[in-house]
Structure 1
Amino acid sequence: MTLTTLKQRSLLGLKDLSKDEIVSLLDRAAHWEAQPVKVNPVLQGKFVANMFFENSTRTRFSFEVAEKRLGTEVLNFSAAVSSVQKGESIYDTVRTLESMGIDAGVIRLKPIGVLADLATRIKVPLINAGDGNNEHPTQALLDIYTMRKQFGELKGLTVAIIGDILHSRVARSNLWALQKLGVNVRFCAPPNMVATELDAAYISIEEALKADVIMMLRVQLERHENGMIKSAEEYREQYGLTVERAKRIAPHAIIMHPAPINRNVEIDDELVEHPQSRIFPQMENGVPVRMAVIERALG
């Protein structure tokens, strides 16, 4: 595979993806969602490795369901039970699986910059399943797919993303892709969780409630230990989507969350399945979106 083809088939992030490529992935996801049968073995005989060097149940299962629905053979690798613990590097692990003949790799890892470097050294398409606080392209694609199903036209919508922007790869991927689609992205974050390098306006929680899409980010409760948040209760009070706040959102607006959710911290328990919530539909939409991404990788 030439370097150009490899680059066209890999999905490392949305920052460098064109508007047309994003739209074509969303269109293809709609095609897969419309299929009446669950398994369409168009990629039979292809091997895909899910390489998770950082824990994730939801994203890994979503990829695995997508891969199996396309008829691929799936290899699951999880770092917690592997030789990476014994000091084998991420590169060696990926290179080993490549040597064994995988056709594509889905990869999640913590260190930033490693994925971009790997992509130049590995000769099979790689799909980013989340790297550090850099990008989480398939999450943003499924978020945007969910918005498109709700509103049809995305141009001119206002999306408010609320929470720990500083550490969020979801906020970054969404920002970069949504801006290309003509969406007004607004951030709302505690002062110590602002990402100054990102090109978006910060607004108050009151202002955020006026958006067409209110996207809550998961707050890492372990940030409490290093003093970034005083307590879960205080976070909820200042930045959580409470039942009281939800009364002020527009009737047409939708509530989103990349999950997993800290119930009663970033969003009150009874709002998770509120009529305006799209949290579970987002997870459902993750499968056809990832089918489109895997199909693109395996051509």
Structure 2
Amino acid sequence: MPSELKWARQDKTCPEHVLTMEDWGKDEIHGLLNKAQEFANQPSKLPNQRLYAANLFFEPSTRTKISFEAAERNLGLDLLHFEADTSSVKKGETLYDTVKTLESIGADVVVIRHAKERYFDELRHHINIPIINGGDGCGHHPTQSFLDLLTIKQEFGIFHGINVVIAGDIFHSRVARSNLEVLERLGANVYVSGPKEWMSKELLHRYVPMDKAVELADVMMMLRIQHERHAVKMVAGPDKYHEIYGLSEEKAQRMKPDSIIMHPAPINRNVEIADALVECSRSRIFKQMKNGVFVRMAVLSHVLEKQQGGLLT
């Protein structure tokens, strides 16, 4: 079960690892977004230097895993292929020993997705190469947050005063956890919607019902129901959930003219969002995916530049 949301100090600077959004100061966040936008405008590679990346995904992934691979190849990195199901993990090897093995073999950076919340606490002070968190249980997903921020910044140019509604399975979402704190720190007004039993008590003062949320939001960020993390399955069926908590075509008609729809995906069509809205004119869902490559290029180049002592700048 995720721990209570802790608000970050604003004087932190960007780390050598990329584990949570709370570790990043506002200036460093904007610097990273600017770097990502540079890659979006003119993709480029790191200097001709042989560097290796390893992606350790212990949970299923499409967008995060493939976009990291695309980002790594765009930067000219060589990939050390790892598959959990065919690795020594099946023989009882610990996560620490797996990462330490890859470091010893020659990996320069590792990307890890793991079901254990804050898995990185046992690694961060003992691994000598950058760790990028590709998602930890119900905890954090910093690169998803960065690509969401980039998408919002491209749309509105600012964060201050923007109304963002995060709607759906808030309690089990690492996307919500990462975005709530950083969006507010950057000046956005952040609200939540969805089943109240799927959000912590400290977030209830942000709650707005969907009928009000659609009229309030500049950014409507929909979340899927994370069935795999629920101890008890939802009682209401998909149709009932869509009617009460989902973004239907009727509700979308009441959104502001310039408001946008976002979703980290995978999408449960006609559950949290109507099928017709996934690729409608106000949807930025596939733009988020495209931005994921540029953001992950920026994150990778950032940590490798720090690791190599600035030689890659």
Confirm or deny a common fold (TM above 0.5): yes
Q: How far is 1:224 from its partner?
A: 7.7
Could you say which residue in structure 2 is the equivalent of 1:184? 189
Q: Which runs of 5+ in 2 are unaligned?
A: 1-13, 306-313
Alpha carbons of structure 1 residues 12 and 200: separation in structure 2 relative to 1, 3 Å: farther
Could you say which residue in structure 1 is the equivalent of 2:39? 32
Q: How far is 1:42 from its partner?
A: 2.8
Aligned equivalents of 2:287, 2:118: Cα separation in 1 = 32
Could you say which residue in structure 2 is the equivalent of 1:53? 58
Alpha carbons of structure 1 residues 212 and 79: separation in structure 2 relative to 1, 3 Å: same
Structure 1 counterpart of 2:247, from 241, 245, 266: 241
Q: How far is 1:99 from its partner?
A: 1.0
Could you say which residue in structure 2 is the equivalent of 1:297? 303
The 10-residue stretch of structure 1 (38-47 or 141-150) with the greater mean CA deviation from structure 2:
38-47
The percentage of counterpart residues that share the same residue type is: 50
Query: Does the alignment pair 1:16 with 2:23?
Result: yes
Aligned equivalents of 2:22, 2:202: Cα separation in 1 = 14
Aligned equivalents of 2:141, 2:168: Cα separation in 1 = 16
Q: How far is 1:77 from its partner?
A: 1.7
Q: How far is 1:244 from its partner?
A: 1.0
Letter in 1 for 2:246: G
Q: Deviations over 1:32-78 (max 9, x none)?
A: 1111xx55243631111111111112110000100110111112323
Q: Deviations over 1:67-103 (max 9, x none)?
A: 1101111123232332223322111111110111111
Could you say which residue in structure 1 is the equivalent of 2:217? 211
Structure 2 counterpart of 1:163, from 163, 168, 186: 168
Query: Does the alignment pair 1:81 with 2:63?
Result: no
Alpha carbons of structure 1 residues 224 and 118: separation in structure 2 relative to 1, 3 Å: closer
Aligned equivalents of 1:18, 1:98: Cα separation in 2 = 28
Could you say which residue in structure 1 is the equivalent of 2:152? 147
Aligned equivalents of 2:48, 2:145: Cα separation in 1 = 24
Give RMSD over aligned pairs: 1.9
The 10-residue stretch of structure 1 (279-288 or 229-238) with the greater mean CA deviation from structure 2:
229-238
Query: Does the alignment pair 1:284 with 2:290?
Result: yes
Could you say which residue in structure 1 is the equivalent of 2:272? 266
Alpha carbons of structure 1 residues 103 and 13: separation in structure 2 relative to 1, 3 Å: same
Could you say which residue in structure 2 is the equivalent of 1:119? 124
Q: Which runs of 5+ in 1 are unaligned?
A: 1-6
Count of aligned residue pairs for this structure pair: 292
Aligned equivalents of 2:62, 2:180: Cα separation in 1 = 25
Classify the secondary structure of the residue corresponding to 1:129.
Answer: strand
Structure 2 counterpart of 1:133, from 131, 138, 141: 138
Aligned equivalents of 2:81, 2:202: Cα separation in 1 = 35
The 10-residue stretch of structure 1 (84-93 or 241-250) with the greater mean CA deviation from structure 2:
84-93
Letter in 1 for 2:39: W
| TM-score normalised per structure 2 | 0.89
Aligned equivalents of 2:145, 2:159: Cα separation in 1 = 14
Question: Residue 51 of structure 1 contacts residue 78 of structure 1 at CA under 8 Å; is this kept in 2?
Answer: yes
Could you say which residue in structure 1 is the equivalent of 2:11? none
